[in-house]
Every structure is written in structure tokens, then in C-alpha cells.
């Protein structure tokens, strides 16, 4: 395992849509392991592959109840709304209030190519949405309804 450099705001990779993973091999396992080490070292709750320089549909989340690896994740159901502050390892020092679904159901693959469904509520749902947005080149600031410094940015709720 190795610490990866976290890509920061302004890098164009953060605005690009990621490619689906087709090979579930040792390179993918190494990427997942490195991402986990990097996320925990940075004290984050999620990390997406473009944040470490890879345009692959790979994300990880750990909101305190164990590491979840998501390969080619898709939100298949969402319910309710939750208005909360969030930040991002690629945007250090910035936070914004976003509106995310309160509950989401995600279909994804594990590191060995096995398909699974997982549900998230509250913070876990927010983290799933945040990381999946990264895979589509969308930052949390684009979902902001307000920025921490009081600037108002009007956005529609999650659709």
C-alpha cells in the first residue's frame, strides 16, 4: 500500500467523467488499497479515483462503520432530502451546505467483480452521493445551496 497524492481544486481531472472498470485485477486491488490508506491518512470519509489521478469509476466510503468499496456504482433509488454541510479532501478548507437524498440505494461491484446492492442513510447517503458525483466530474460546490462564507448559490435539490 502507498499514500497517493490527492488532486486539488483546479485540476481538470476533477471535472471529467470516469470510465467504467472492466478489469477486476491486481492493479484495481492496489488502487483500492492505496485509496483507503490515503483517505484514512487524510481523515476523510470518502475518496473517489479521480481525486488520486485515475479516471476510473472507483470510490470508497467509511463513515465509521467499515470500509465500503464501490466499483462502477449507480444510485438506483433515493428518498427524502437532507440539508447538511459537507467538505472535500480535494477542496481543503472549503465547505458548503448541500441538499442530498436522506436515503439512497446503490448498485455496485466489489473488488472481485461481484455485484451487490447497498443502502445508505444520512451521512452514508451523503458520502455515496458525493463520491459518485466525483465519478461524473461534479464537485460538491456545484450542489451547494450556500457556501460557508455566506455567498448564496441557488441549486435545485437532488433529482
Q: What residues are labeled active site?
A: 131
Within a 13 Å sphere around the CA of 60, how many CA atoms are in the beta-carbon half? 26
Find all residues with CB under 8 Å of 138, minimum gap 6, and list them.
Answer: none
| Distance from C-alpha of 83 to C-alpha of 63, rounded to nearest angstrom | 17
Are the C-beta atoms of residues 80 and 50 closer than 8 Å to each other?
no
- Give one word for 112, left, alpha or beta, with left for phi > 0 and alpha for psi -120 to 50: alpha
- Cα separation, 51 vs 9, in Å, equals 10
Burial of 39 by CB count in 10 Å (0-12 exposed, 13-18 middle, 19+ buried)? Answer: buried
Amino acid at each position: 500500500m502507498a499514500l497517493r497524492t490527492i488532486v486539488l481544486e483546479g485540476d481538470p481531472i476533477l471535472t471529467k467523467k470516469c470510465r467504467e472498470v472492466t478489469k477486476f485485477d491486481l492493479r484495481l486491488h492496489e488502487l483500492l488499497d492505496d485509496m483507503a490508506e490515503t483517505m484514512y491518512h487524510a481523515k476523510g470519509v470518502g475518496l473517489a479515483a479521480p481525486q488520486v489521478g485515475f479516471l476510473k469509476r472507483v470510490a470508497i466510503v467509511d463513515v465509521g462503520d467499515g470500509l465500503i468499496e464501490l466499483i462502477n456504482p449507480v444510485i438506483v433509488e433515493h428518498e427524502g432530502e437532507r440539508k447538511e454541510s459537507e467538505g472535500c479532501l480535494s477542496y481543503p478548507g472549503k465547505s458548503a451546505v448541500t441538499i442530498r437524498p436522506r436515503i439512497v440505494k446503490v448498485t455496485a461491484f466489489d473488488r472481485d467483480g461481484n455485484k451487490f446492492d447497498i443502502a445508505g442513510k444520512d451521512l452514508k447517503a451523503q458520502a455515496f452521493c458525493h463520491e459518485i458525483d466525483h465519478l461524473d466530474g461534479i464537485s460538491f460546490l456545484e450542489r451547494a445551496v450556500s457556501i460557508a462564507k455566506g455567498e448564496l448559490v441557488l441549486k435545485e435539490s437532488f433529482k
